[in-house]
Structures are given as C-alpha cells and as structure tokens.
Structure 1
C-alpha cells in the first residue's frame, strides 16, 4: 500500500441526508473513517446510526437520499444494484446484532461462508471448505472441522457471533460494519468478541488497512473498542473526537447527557429490623431430559438446574442475582413464582410456605404478593389490548372484589405513579417507546399492590438514558412503597446502581454472596472476578455507604 493511499480516507460521508416521506432520518452528515481506524457511532434509538450503516451498504429501500458516500473516492450512491452486490461482502461487510436472524437456519455455517467465497473469489467447493475451517479457527470456534457442518441453532450465541464475524471477514473487506455485535451476549462472551474484533482488525489493518465502524449505544464498549467516537442525536452528528478526549471532556450537551445517563448508585438504606418477605432454604430444581430413540418412551434422566440455594429478601431491599446464561437465574425466578416445582428445599413468602399454595385461589394469593417485570415489554404486553385493559385485567384477576369504576380509577393512578399520563389508557403498546412500555409493565405489576417484584433484566432492552430513567423510577417506587426487588441481571453496572446485596450464580449454585459494593470491589470467587474483569463497567467514585 503506497504512502499516498495510506493517508487517504477510506470512507467519506459528505453532507449525506436520507428521508422517509416527511421524516428526515439523517441530516447533512459529514464523517470520515481512515484506513485501519476503529470508529464508534453512538446514539439512542432513532438517532440515525443504524440507518447510516445500512446506507453505506445501500440496503435502505423507499428512501430519498442526498449527498455522497465515497469508498476509496468512489461514490457508492451512484452504483447500480448489480455493482453493489459485487461490493457487499468483498469491500464492505457487516456483523449484525442478532446472528440467529441474520444466519440462514436451513444452511450450515460452512455453506454460508462458502457462498461468499464462491461469489466474490470464485473458489471451488473444496477450497472454500478449507478456507471456512481456517476462518472458524481464526475466530476462536473450537473444533472448526466439526463445527463447519453445524447449523446456526446448534451453536451457542457466542459461537454464532464468531461465525458471523468469520463470514464477514471471508473476503477480507476494507470496511467492516458492526451493528451492536455484543448486545445479546453474556458479559464474558461479550469481552471475548470485543477482544476478537480488535485482534482481527489490527491484523487486517497492518495488511489491508481494514477499518471498523461500530454502531452501539453501549458506552463501556466504546471505551474499550474505539479510537474515535462520533455522536448522533435525532439524525444529526453533534460531536466527534478521540475516545479519550470525548469521555474526559464532552463538549455537546447531548453527549454530556449520554455520559451522565450511565447508572449511578442511588438507593435507600434498609430499616434495621425490616421483616423478611422472602426466604429460600436449600432450594433445588430438576428438569427431566428425554432419552434418545425408543428409550424415550420409558425413561429419561434428570438435570439439576439449581443446587442448594439459600437467600433472604427483606422489606425495602433489593437483592441482585447475577450470572451468565445457564447459571440458574431464570429457573430460580420461575420456581419462586410457582411456575416450576422444586425438587428439594423450602420457600416462604411472608412466613407462609409456598408449598401450601395450591389451586387457582392460592395462586392468586401468591401473585397478589409477588409480581414480575419482564425483560422485553413489547413481548410481555398484549398488542391487542389497550393500556387500560392490560393493567385493568391484572386488577380484575387478582383483586376481583374491586368494581369496574374503582378499577379504572386505580389504573389511572398507577399510570401516574410511573410517570405516564392518564390519557395513555386508551392507547396500544405499539404507540409507545420502549421506556414507556416498561413503565406500563411496572404499573401493571404494582396495580395489585404486590410487595415483591422480580425484575428480570428490566433495562437491558433500553437506551442508556431511558435505562437511567427506569432505574430512578424503580428506586422512587421502592422508597415510597417499601417494595422489595429481586433483580436478575448480567449487567454489573445496573447491579451496582440498584442492589443492596448480591448473590452470584454459576451452574445452578451460589458461588458468592454479600453486600454489593463489597462483592464488586473485592470479589473472592474466581468466577466473580472473571465477570467483573469482563464487565467493562466504568469505575464509580465516592459511592455512598448503604446502612444495613
């Protein structure tokens, strides 16, 4: 590569705008990416960052565009669709957020890698197969000779994302676009993928000058990965700077708001003699696994998903449960909600054994004391029901003695409690943002006056500023009603912000427990240490003491 080429920008976006009907998604964007550079494009949902990435690939339909997007001086917006098909995969490649939807479930990983090599490099099947194995080995997939014949559903989430990266790098592109590549992954797998992208980019940068444009809302990921950051708000680029300079001294008010939106610890101390609202002793949970073939008609084995778990939750306390996929967090929650029968142990709610709750009336009594807020509010709220019907149904089921007029008034009151206007009652879930939908889900859980809320990844699907708003809402409701939260999450920043105490689970066992700040500042178990090392959370100074 000549010196002149080396110092020439790889990608130049020049006064680019894109419009969908009357809505301008991106306005007068100017951005350059140098060869071998790692740039992060950050912003909240609707900021225009994903539309920008798709516009570079010319994958946006039914839109009006203006300006230029030049790759090595050639305007991609002037290329025909046939010409773009030759550029995509060869000079430009993309790693998508959710590999399970981006990968074809009907073809093996090897077939999907080979297709790109056949189209862009003209390799024969045997050569493409050998290159595919090499790519899988390079991206860290174990036993690549065997995994190359696997279908996407036969791989773990991290392995699928590694396979996506292998496919993207198959033809050695000059620019790799990575759209939220770690969002759906566990914390340690997320660290591995980030380190892998950095390693591969540096290798390719030395040879071909490959650059990476990272699309993300995760500021901790930006700190670790990017050399330069561009910030977008409502389709406008508001700030760009080196990563170090931007985090040290953000200039634009929106950038400052984004950085200030990262979770901060604001929790109330627990009353010294607060009563125990939930007690778990020696809990074990088994799942039956079917035998293969004809033996499945007669036998099977059991898999122990939760081993000998003890925990207590007091009035007004938040107990965090942290661990990766398969650690037993969700099984624990399902068992506490009476959805899974324990194999051993005891669960007491307000001193009453859960085992005594049988039948519809007893189950109703349980759910009037304990409710759950799910990770994805769009999936947990019926799209066919208005907000009034969604929240009101909960009251009707669990408080059947309340008449319709009082029920409607209570729905309005609960919506106001979570910061939603009463006129929201007549609207449907799709008419609200993600943060507003989560507020509605919280209102539904509180409508039956439950004392214990199980919060299952309550903010993981939200933008960072919306996440902070929901965390503040939950903290305010806890203070007002002395609610008790069982917070299930893999996000240690959220855990640090909300939880008084924490238990760490691995393979169904509690491997560490204690006050949250003690565990995060001085973890004793190697697994907790590895989680903390991989979490990429920023240090928080002057954290207030919480009296126990």
Structure 2
C-alpha cells in the first residue's frame, strides 16, 4: 500500500531578499504519484518556491519547513543536499541552452549524475545515457549522445534535460516552464513525454511532478491538481477540473479570463497593397564536408516560391515550426537578407530600387519597423527609455528640436500605456510586458506603415499577453498599421490575424482567412499543427472577419 503521508510538504514557507518578502507563508503538499501545477504570473514566487526546494537560492532568507520523505530539507547541510539533488529531487529548467553546459556533450552531462550518485563506470554510464535518450524520444541516441547542446534543436535539448533529470530515477521532478517558446508540435511531444514517464515511474516508485508554469492550456492538459499564486501568496488550490470549471478567487478568475480574444475588424475594400511578394526564394551557403568541399560550398534553400500580399490595415499571420522559414521571410522583407530571388514590392516599388539612394533607403526603413520576440535582448541596457524611443526620431526626423523630440517621446509612452516618469529609467527596471511596450513605442516613433512582429508575446504571461495584443489591435485601428505577425501560438493567431499563412520547409502549404484555415484546415501539416495545439477557440458566428 502507498504511504498516506505526502511526498513533499511545504509548511509556512517564507522567502525574503532583504526587506522584500517574495513568498509569504506558503503551504502546499504533493502526494506520491501526483502531478501538481503551480500557476501564477511572473513575480508571483513560483520559481523561487521551486528553487527553495533544492536550496538553490542565494542571498535569500528562508523560514518555515520543506519536508521531503519526512525530513526537513531546510535543516540539512549543503553536503547532504548534494546527495539529494539529482538523485531524489531533480529539476528540468526553462531554458535548456542556458542550463546545459556548452563545453560538454549531453552524454557527459547525463553520465555525471550517474557517476556521482550511483557510482557507474564510464561505459555503463554511457550505455544508460543512450537508453535514457532513446526513452525520451531522441532519434539516433547512439550518435546524439556525443552531440554538444548547440548541435541539438530546442525540443531535443529539452528532451536531453529530461533524460538528465530522470537519470537517477528521482522521487520528485520539478519542471520549470518546460515548454516555453517551443513549437506547438514539440510542446505536445514534451507534455506527452512527461506524462508517460511520470506514469511509468509513479507505478514503480511513486514519482511526483511539480510543474511551474503560466500556460493555462498546458495545466489543463497535464496537471491533476492546481495551486495558484499571486504576489507570493497561495490564493487557491483545487483539482484541475474543479478549478477551471468554477474558480473561487478573483485572481484565478482573472487569469482564466486572460486568454486571447478575437477582435478583428474587416479590412476596407479600398485598402492598397503595402507589401507584395512573388516567387521569393532564399538560399544559405553551407560549408561542405568530404569530397564535396573540393567543389565549393553547398546550398540550403530556406525559402521557395513564396507568394504573399499584405494590405493597409491588415494582419497576416505566419505560422510554422522552427526551421519553416518564418524568420527568414521576415528578415528578407526588411531588407536584411540580400541573397534572394524573386520580387518584393513595398508601396508598389521593387525593394531593390530603394537601394539606389541612401536617402530613399533610410525613408523606407522608417516605413518598415520590427518588434522582436525578446525585448530585453533588443533594447540597449545602456540607454534610458527616452534615448531608446527617441533614437529613431533623431535619425529619421532630424529637424525636430530637443524639446519637440522629448514631447513626442512622452506622447508615445502614453500611447502604449507607460507613465512619463519612465523616461529616465533603464530596460532592466521594467517587467517583460512593459519592455515590450517600450519596443512598440520605439517602432511607432517613426510613423511606420508596416510592423513585422516576431513572436512578440511568446514569453509573456497570459494576462500581459492579452494586454499587448489589445494594444496592438488598438494601434492598428487608430493608425491603419499593417502587421506581418510571426508566431507559433495558434490561439494568438486566432485573436489577431485577418489571414493566415502556414509554412513548412520554406514553402507556403496553406493560406486563407484565419477562421477558415484554423477551423477547417485542408493541408495535413496544418491539421497536425492544430491537433498538437493545446487549445484553439471554437468559431463564433458573431466574430468579425476580413
């Protein structure tokens, strides 16, 4: 019979950094063989709670009890915790490229815990590593075990992290945002894999999983029980079915109500084409190996026979897995990729014709702007918000005086919902959603016609994501902006796009009105994307479509 005491019991846990209390009197239990999701927005204390279980927090003051298998982890020495980490409690981190050591092969990193905790010799550890990679679904594990992290795809790196975490068959697995920024098909594979592995280990060893996430669709699919955190406080706990059907706390209701909403007005019939693409093809040169190197470098075709139009005030969504050509298409439209065949026309003129004059090319750059996926990476950490937003004005509107430029920057910040006192602050002083608003303000400063939006909401909480989508919709209606919206989130695509283009291996395999494509796909690849998606809202007869 299974023991009745919980595998993990967190009792009155408080975590503080100096005078700031980030987790306050948290009480949570995880039973043997159970899958529990800890849900909340960024800054709610989810990851701090997970890290505190493994005692990985630095410079933090922790009080309360974390009882695992009847023993208080907070009372153990660092030497004792080293014996627990990886062996009894393991963790799958959010970003495997950061968590994996780039200087060692995945095989050596998996073997490390096997040697430390189980005393396996190198050959035995390698054989176990190959079996773990095979079990987690990595193809050709005998070859991939000698690969470095950068030689694996995002999904394969996440599988390697899971293999490493399961190497010593832990009793508790902590999964911190394990599917963030993954394609829908890879996301489904990782979720299905975690469920399969947990159920296998639960039957034998009672392994439990504590999932840290803000993805509510993932929670609905994965977890048996949900705990909701707000600003360091646990506000609600219930079974998954009961919590989604009848949430009790106002914060939980607000989270569940934050899923994308479709608010798309028809594009006026008289709208002109802002962008026209005909027969676009892009090749990348690759270094050849063996005898082929004697005859020059090889070529990889990233785009093939791409046709696309975008009208004023219209949003065209670009959907596809990693490697499908979405980002290559965006960079080519922006003029960042010159090695292209076919034709791109902006405002009725060939893109190449603008390059004949530096003044014309500069003016074109003002008409086409981009908002990147990671605002923290795209905003200079050494510049204030005033300098970041005003930079485009200095370049493209040099006749504006300093006072006029400053006044315009304040107007732009108000436009995107940021206070004027943000002017002298730096990007690191803002949340993810606020940084994305700064990036949007920077793009709007030069009054563009076309915005390329490259995964602008993929790393944001559901509530912040809804706010950014609502902002983009409002700005489009006010200024008649045209959006080329790149994403792998089909729910976001449903909420924003008039038309959708599905890409696979550099080709467009299906295109049409968003609701037609998402609710009645004709191509098998589109059907597989929809089947892998956690949730796409049902059609509504009252929805406005182009």
Question: TM-score, normalised to structure 2's length?
Answer: 0.97
Segment of structure 1 superposing worse, 493-502 or 110-119: 110-119
Displacement of 1:541 in angstroms is 5.7
Residue equivalent to 1:513: 511
Classify the secondary structure of the residue corresponding to 2:443. helix
Residue equivalent to 1:181: 178
CA contact (8 A) 1:139 1:166 kept: yes
- State how far apart, in whole Å, the 1-side matches of 2:277 and 2:105 are: 45
- State how far apart, in whole Å, the 2-side matches of 1:19 and 1:540 are: 44
Displacement of 1:477 in angstroms is 0.5
Give the alignment partner of residue 348 of structure 1, picking from 331, 345, 349: 345
Give the alignment partner of residue 395 of structure 2, picking from 378, 394, 397: 397
- State how far apart, in whole Å, the 2-side matches of 1:401 and 1:354 are: 27
Classify the secondary structure of the residue corresponding to 2:423. helix
1:475-525 deviations in whole A, cap 9, x for unaligned? 001111111111011111110000010000001100000000110001111
Residue equivalent to 1:20: 17
CA contact (8 A) 1:40 1:216 kept: yes
Classify the secondary structure of the residue corresponding to 1:426. coil
Describe the shift of the 1:475–1:204 C-alpha distance in structure 2 as closer, same or farther (beyond 3 A). same
- State how far apart, in whole Å, the 2-side matches of 1:58 and 1:43 are: 21
Displacement of 1:256 in angstroms is 0.7
CA contact (8 A) 2:285 2:298 kept: yes
Matches within 5 A, 1:362-381: 362-381=360-379
Residue equivalent to 1:491: 489
Which consecutive unaligned segments of at least 5 residues does structure 2 have? none
- State how far apart, in whole Å, the 2-side matches of 1:386 and 1:263 are: 31
- State how far apart, in whole Å, the 2-side matches of 1:340 and 1:297 are: 27
Residue equivalent to 1:323: 320
Give the alignment partner of residue 311 of structure 2, picking from 309, 314, 330: 314
1:264 counterpart = 2:261 = yes
- State how far apart, in whole Å, the 2-side matches of 1:29 and 1:540 are: 37
Residue equivalent to 2:194: 197
Displacement of 1:161 in angstroms is 1.0
- State how far apart, in whole Å, the 2-side matches of 1:313 and 1:513 are: 13
- State how far apart, in whole Å, the 2-side matches of 1:71 and 1:51 are: 17
1:212 counterpart = 2:218 = no
1:76 counterpart = 2:73 = yes
Matches within 5 A, 1:452-531: 452-531=450-529
- State how far apart, in whole Å, the 2-side matches of 1:449 and 1:292 are: 48
Describe the shift of the 1:459–1:119 C-alpha distance in structure 2 as closer, same or farther (beyond 3 A). same
Residue equivalent to 2:166: 169
Displacement of 1:190 in angstroms is 0.9
Classify the secondary structure of the residue corresponding to 1:30. strand
1:170-197 deviations in whole A, cap 9, x for unaligned? 1111000000111132111111011000
Classify the secondary structure of the residue corresponding to 1:357. helix
1:287 counterpart = 2:287 = no
- State how far apart, in whole Å, the 1-side matches of 2:421 and 2:11 are: 43
1:69-104 deviations in whole A, cap 9, x for unaligned? 111111111111101111111110001111111111
1:148 counterpart = 2:129 = no
1:53 counterpart = 2:34 = no
RMSD of equivalent CA atoms? 1.5
CA contact (8 A) 1:97 1:184 kept: no
Residue equivalent to 2:298: 301
Classify the secondary structure of the residue corresponding to 1:200. helix
- State how far apart, in whole Å, the 2-side matches of 1:251 and 1:332 are: 45
Displacement of 1:230 in angstroms is 0.3
Describe the shift of the 1:449–1:455 C-alpha distance in structure 2 as closer, same or farther (beyond 3 A). same
1:123-163 deviations in whole A, cap 9, x for unaligned? 22222122111111111111112222222222211111111
Displacement of 1:545 in angstroms is 3.0
Kindly tell me the number of residue pairs found equivalent between the two proteins: 545
Displacement of 1:360 in angstroms is 2.6
- State how far apart, in whole Å, the 2-side matches of 1:463 and 1:215 are: 13
- State how far apart, in whole Å, the 1-side matches of 2:516 and 2:185 are: 21
1:245 counterpart = 2:242 = yes
Displacement of 1:290 in angstroms is 2.6
CA contact (8 A) 2:515 2:539 kept: no
- State how far apart, in whole Å, the 1-side matches of 2:348 and 2:400 are: 27
- State how far apart, in whole Å, the 1-side matches of 2:289 and 2:134 are: 31
Displacement of 1:296 in angstroms is 5.7
- State how far apart, in whole Å, the 1-side matches of 2:405 and 2:116 are: 62
Residue equivalent to 1:124: 121
- State how far apart, in whole Å, the 1-side matches of 2:182 and 2:455 are: 13
- State how far apart, in whole Å, the 2-side matches of 1:543 and 1:266 are: 13
Displacement of 1:542 in angstroms is 3.1
1:442-479 deviations in whole A, cap 9, x for unaligned? 11111111111111111112111111001000000111
- State how far apart, in whole Å, the 1-side matches of 2:244 and 2:458 are: 22
Give the alignment partner of residue 85 of structure 1, picking from 82, 90, 111: 82
- State how far apart, in whole Å, the 1-side matches of 2:401 and 2:289 are: 53
Displacement of 1:277 in angstroms is 1.1
Displacement of 1:538 in angstroms is 4.8
- State how far apart, in whole Å, the 1-side matches of 2:369 and 2:58 are: 43
